Amino acid sequence: MTARQFTGLFLALSLAAFGVAGVAWSQGNVLAPAFAVLDAAFIAFVLRWVWRQGERFEVIALDERHLEVRRSAQAQPAFEAHPYWVRVQVDGGEGRERVLLGSQGRQVEVGAFLSFEERRDLAARLKTLLASASGRGRDQDHTLG
């Protein structure tokens, strides 16, 4: 959603809460407007949190000599290694899998914000691309993001 759509959603939900509070107030519930204000503040907080979560991303850049994982919240790469030494590991139980990239004793989780199916696809795609980039395949330059 765009910022304008989030604002429209906030206004629609807040107006509905204030409308119900107005009706309740007219019937004698003197606390209804206060609860409507609290509800509007909660709606604003949650919509802002959802907006911020939607801004998260990871970029996995890969060529025959270098793999790099960059995250939206970090200026520096979260992980760097030579693709030949990188291994993809899927850790956790059914529906709770985590995709880990590891090399030389370091590990980083990638795709944590993805759904279960998307993480499974990411792991399979990374395995294929790493095999290709490390000389066991044909393609030599890839970017996932």
DSSP 65-112: S-EEEEETT-SS-SEEE-GGG-EEEEESSTT--EEEEEETTEEEEE-T
Sequence letter at residue 139 = D
3-state per-residue secondary structure call for 118-145: HHHHHHHHHHHHHHHHHHHCCCCEEEEC
Per-residue pLDDT reduced to its tens digit, 93-102: 776 789 999 9
Instruction: Output Rg (C-alpha) for the chain, integer angstroms.
Output: 23
- Model confidence band, residue 140 (pLDDT cutoffs 50, 70, 90): very low
Output phi, psi for 2, to 5 deg: -85, 170
- Model confidence band, residue 145 (pLDDT cutoffs 50, 70, 90): low
pTM for the whole thing? 0.59
- The percent of residues above 70 in pLDDT, for the chain, comes to 91
DSSP reduced 3-state for 47 = helix
